[in-house]
Amino acid sequence: LSRVVITGTGLFTPEGGVTNDELVASLTTATQRWNEDHSAEIARGDCTARDIPSSKFILRASGVGHRYVIDKEGVLDPTRMRPRLRKRGEDELSLQAEICVAAAREALAQAGREASDIDAVVVGCSNLQRAYPAVAIEVQAALGARGFAYDMNVACSSATFAIQNGVDALRCGHARRVLVLNPELTSGHTNFEAREFHFIFGDACTAVLLEREDDAAPAGVGEAWEVLGTRLVTQFSNNIRNDAGFLNRCEEPAREPRELLFRQNGRQVANEVCPMVAEHLRVHLADAGIPVERVKRLWLHQANLGMNRTIAKTLLGREVLPEEAPVILDEYANTSSAGSVIAFHKHRGGIGAGEHAVLCSFGAGYSIGSVLLRKLRD
């Protein structure tokens, strides 16, 4: 079987940066208006007043300080509370394909590759903007890549699951170079009117270029990270749901609007998923014969600062230095499947050739994916 390496990564970041204070100010205005509009029902006890959000709570409970969104104005408009996106014509590049192309170009440049070198494109993300034609095929055409392309969705674990698909395709000889893309436009599915959800997510797109080591560019052109192993696991849970789907218009009775957006029992998710992830990583590393103390860096899914500290501490058996498990929540918030790849993209300096690291995602499903890496060359 061929050895597979990651030779490039890319990141698209939207221009619209939103601080917690800006988000809280907008939701506070919207909440006060809603409570005024419903004052009679609230007084009669037919419904309860909505609670005012707090910046202090957000930072303390999650570690999120800021996020980027594809349309800041629409998200912060208290009368709208969702992005305002121009409807594009069928002859125009779709928004999700556009951000994929931007991230892909950076990954290709890093690896010293042309788009025509690519013969498989996998788009993995939590929310696809349409059912078909596949966004991945649109990206393949826009880039001028060859071969085949398809979309897939495993929520926050879409990147690691797509990486495993790419590695398998390379090892089996179905492709020679695979581009994995994660266009996460989470603001389209965030309930900005609910204080328990409005702060969680941000938008971004990541790219990872996978090649067979015998095909990879010669030393000196770029970095190479050998994929020593991948491991995926899923376990059904209703604690994180989004019921938007093509049968919604047929259902009787119709669903509540909030059911068509992201929702979760966040506390229960954190309690259940942390031990599962730490154990998954322990067993994956042990089976690969890599002692945990040899792991130089953990690029974990970025959902919650406390969760990441707990997982890293449980795995390593000691307090973990911030640089050992980098966090990007303060700037990007939870970008679903893009999160662990953003951490890898931005925080992989200081690891020497021959040293080990882990990329790991976890989220809705539940789903967990881990990728064991060894740096081959600088």
Footprint of ligand CO8 (CB under 6 A): 53-54, 57-58, 61-62, 126-127, 155-156, 186, 189-190, 195-196, 199, 201, 240, 262, 264, 266-267, 269-270, 303-304, 307, 334, 336, 363-364
CB of 124 to ligand CO8, least distance (A): 12
Active site residues per annotation: 156
337 token code pair: 């499947």
Q: Which residue number, 83 or 222, has a Cβ lying nearer to ligand CO8?
A: 83
Q: Which residue number, 95 or 143, has a Cβ lying nearer to ligand CO8?
A: 95
H-helix or E-strand containing 177?
strand 177-184
CB of 101 to ligand CO8, least distance (A): 21
Q: Which residue number, 225 or 362, has a Cβ lying nearer to ligand CO8?
A: 362
DSSP class of 87: P
Neighbouring CB atoms inside 10 A of 2's CB total: 15
CB of 116 to ligand CO8, least distance (A): 33
Which stretches of the chain are DSSP H helices? Answer: 20-37, 39-44, 55-62, 72-76, 95-111, 135-143, 158-172, 266-287, 305-316, 329-332, 338-346
CB of 288 to ligand CO8, least distance (A): 26
Of 51, 55, 83, whose CA–CA distance to 70 is shortest?
83
Q: Which residue has tokens 């789903």?
A: 367
Of 24, 20, 22, whose CA–CA distance to 195 is shortest?
24
Q: Which residue number, 72 or 195, has a Cβ lying nearer to ligand CO8?
A: 195
Q: Which residue number, 7 or 337, has a Cβ lying nearer to ligand CO8?
A: 337
CB of 211 to ligand CO8, least distance (A): 29
Distance CA 181, CA 161 (A): 11
Neighbouring CB atoms inside 10 A of 219's CB total: 10
Residue environment code for 34-45, b if the CB has 16+ CB neighbours within 10 A, otherwise e = bbeeeeeebeee
